[in-house]
Structure 1
Amino acid sequence: MRSFTQHAGSAGLLAAVASAFCFGGSGPFAKPLITAGFTPLQVAWIRLAGGALLMLPFAFRHVSALRRAPWLLLGYGLFAIAGVQTSYFAAIASIPVAVALLVEFLGPVLVLGWIRFVRRRPVTRRAAGGIGLALAGLACVVEIGAGMRFDALGLLLALAAAGCQAAYFLLSDSSAEIDPRALASYGLLIGAAVVTVLARPWEMDWAVLAGSVELAGAALPAALAAAWMVLVSTVLAYLTGIVAVRRLSPPVAGAVAFLEPVVATLLAWLLLGERLGPWQLAGGALILAGAYVAQRAAPAEAETPLVPESGSSAR
């Protein structure tokens, strides 16, 4: 029995790491498509529509979820899927991938801000310390003392992604009732439907996919970058995240998910040549530390788990 439990734990940990790697690769593979001529909305649509199509079997299998929790699925699709992805892809069009993702990971901090200033409930010193760490890290990442090094609109869009992530966290207290595969599949379907209206894919220049993009200094087919986003950064990412939560626990899987910005930073450096300076690296470490503390503290404050049962924070 102990051997089986250890094996399950090891498999779950590997799945959680794989999920963080897969999710972390979405930005580095999406940005070249934006540079090649697609808009951020169009790239988001490619990812969501492709992922929704491949996840359809899970949607058919769990159709009862529509009757059991329609508002949860709608909130997940609007905020965790459509809102996060469109804001994040729009942000990386003008700021580095790693910076956008680090800012997005302020979601747990925004949840605590909502609890304190909107619900007017006190937060513990530990939670306040996490907020302070994260805000100090944000100041370092954007080099606020040097007059904001990065594009202001890009940073605002990254904050919008963090806000959408926080909105889903606040809705996630009822997600335990829904199979994570249903949550992911219907979230992608709803998100794809919403983004379809905004992206107008029938007006896209599909010839871009027949061309090439530059990754790691080499020309690669644009269709390959799109396929990575759909197959690896969406479908495989969600499926491995589901396995992680089933084999581990949501808190442990959520903790491993903090590897995602690290993966994104490394891939953006290797594939796009985007390097962070010492201040950004130090600030990123502070943001992740503060967000982690906030994530662990918030359930005691709000009785709301900050790690959905799907094992992802809607990346």
Structure 2
Amino acid sequence: MLRNRLALVLLTALAPAVWGTTYLATTELLPPGRPLLAAVIRCLPAGLLLVALTRRLPQGSWWWRSLVLGALNIGVFQALLFIAAYRLPGGIAATVGAVGPLVTAGLSALVLGDRLTLRTVLSGIAGVAGVSLLVLRANAQLDAVGVLAALGGAVVMAAGIVLSKRWVSPAPMLATTGWQLTAGGLLLVPVTLIAEGAPPSHYTLANVLGYAYLCLIGAAVTYALWFRGLRELPPTSVSFLALLSPVVATLLGWLALGQDLSPLQAFGALVVLGSLVAAQTQRPRTARVPAPGATPTPEAGAAPEADPAATPRSVRENV
């Protein structure tokens, strides 16, 4: 069971790790100044592809649930991330967004009945501190709208994580992923046209390769892994994995782009990884109310392992 859980955590962690490559792909392959267009091209075709492959449409309440989850996990989140990325230095937006695990833990306690432990809170604080050491700069300046957008993005992402755990679709995971990507992509289309205007009329081979990578790998594959992890793992544990994105983005900037990596940044990366390990090794516990007249057992309140039968962003992922 422990090996299965470790394998599932590692597979889920691949999603934010790949999202950390988005900054490199965007700067090196895509047209400049088109982050929302990149988000649409990444999400909408990937969603339609998965829907076509699974040949499964939502049924009943899953029409509006897919729209809500697609808005929270994809559409609204990407729009807020875009605002934060353009109005804030990268370090501030990433640091504010790093509060996501703490927000997820709070919402999980309110909505799902998960117990908010001191270990989770300390791990969340360590994660924020580690990201700030990794990406924050001393000359960074605040912008109220940008800070609110970054904080809103963290809240929206946390809400999407918690609701994804509460609403478990009866459909195959690839179909559910396709519904959300399609809904989120459609919501982004009018926002993109208003904010960035019509798409460019010409694309280079590098542009096409970049968009293909973001669509097939950065969306279709990674979101399927992410949502599968959300089905089987505690939501707070999954939310901590999102902190891998700024770590991967910083390391790629150092390795591929020749950017500086100071000892303080390296220490920040270690702090982030330490907070991830602490969050993953904690056994989830859910508060339960015993039935009337029932005698509580010593194990009352302990949550079972997640059912194995159920299946940004860093600011650098500013697309």
TM-score, normalising length: structure 2? 0.67
Change (3 A) 1:149 1:97: closer
Per the alignment, residue 214 of structure 1 pairs with none
For the structure 1 residues 42 and 313, does the alpha-carbon distance in structure 2 shift closer, same or farther, using more than 3 Å as the test? closer
1:134 to partner: Cα distance? 3.1
**Equivalent residues in 2 for 1:104-115 (5 A)?**
104-114=97-107
CA drift of 1:32 comes to 4.9
> Match of 2:59, SS?
helix
Residue aligning to 2:165: 173
Determine if contact 1:25/1:263 at 8 Å carries over to the other structure: yes
Unaligned 5+ segments in structure 1 are 211-219
The whole-number CA distance in structure 2 between the counterparts of 1:15 and 1:137 is 23
* Paired AA for residue 153 in structure 2: A
Flag the 1:172–1:82 CA change in 2: closer, same or farther, 3 A: same
* Alpha-carbon offset, residue 190 of structure 1: 0.8
Indicate conservation of the 8 Å contact 1:27/1:264, yes or no.
Answer: yes
Q: Which residue is 2:297 aligned to?
A: none
SS at structure 2 position matched to 1:209: coil
Q: Is the 8 A contact 1:108 1:295 kept in 2?
A: no
Contact 1:87 1:160 in 2 (8 A): yes
* 1:1-315 correspondence to structure 2 within 5 Å: 15-16=11-12, 18-32=14-28, 36-38=32-34, 40-58=35-53, 60-61=55-56, 63=57, 65-93=58-86, 103-114=96-107, 123-137=116-130, 139-141=132-134, 143=136, 146=138, 149=140, 152=143, 156-178=148-170, 179-200=172-193, 203-207=197-201, 209-210=203-204, 221-241=206-226, 250=233, 254=238, 259-287=244-272, 289-290=274-275, 293=278, 300=285
Contact 2:77–2:157 (Cα < 8 Å) also in 1: yes
The 1:73/1:308 distance shift into structure 2, 3 A limit, reads: farther
TM-fit CA distance, 1:129: 1.8
Deviates further, 222-231 or 51-60: 51-60
Q: Percent identity?
A: 26
Q: 3-state DSSP class of the match of 2:140?
A: coil
Structure 2: distance between partners of 1:103 and 1:298: 27
SS in 2 for 1:67: coil
RMSD: 4.8
Q: How far is 1:263 from its partner?
A: 2.7
How many correspondences in the alignment? 294
Q: Secondary structure at the residue paired with 1:109?
A: helix
Cα drift, residue 275 of structure 1: 4.1
Deviation at 1:83, TM superposition (A): 2.4
- Give the conservation status (yes or no) of the 8 Å contact 1:33–1:43: no
Tell me which amino acid in the other structure corresponds to 1:173.
K
Return 5+ residue gaps in structure 2 as ranges: 289-302
- Go from structure 1 to structure 2 and tell me whether the alpha carbon gap of 1:260 and 1:150 turns closer, same or farther (over 3 Å shift): same
1:163 to 1:10, Cα distance in 2 relative to 1, 3 A: closer
Task: Give the whole-Å Cα distance in 1 for the aligned partners of 2:277 and 2:311.
Answer: 15
Kept in 2, the 8 Å contact 1:92–1:100? The answer is yes
Instruction: Verify the 8 A CA contact 2:104 2:162 in the aligned structure 1.
Output: yes
Q: Is the 8 A contact 1:19 1:241 kept in 2?
A: yes
Distance 1:266 1:131, change over 3 A: closer
How has the CA–CA distance of structure 1 residues 271 and 292 changed in structure 2, closer, same or farther, with 3 Å as cutoff? same
Shift of 1:230: 0.9
Change (3 A) 1:22 1:135: closer
Aligned-pair distance for 1:151? 5.9
- Residues 1:54 and 1:251: Cα distance change in structure 2 (over 3 Å): same
Which has a greater percent of helix?
A: 1
Which stretch shows the higher mean deviation, 291-300 or 99-108? 291-300
Q: In 2, Cα distance between the equivalents of 1:117 and 1:256? A: 21
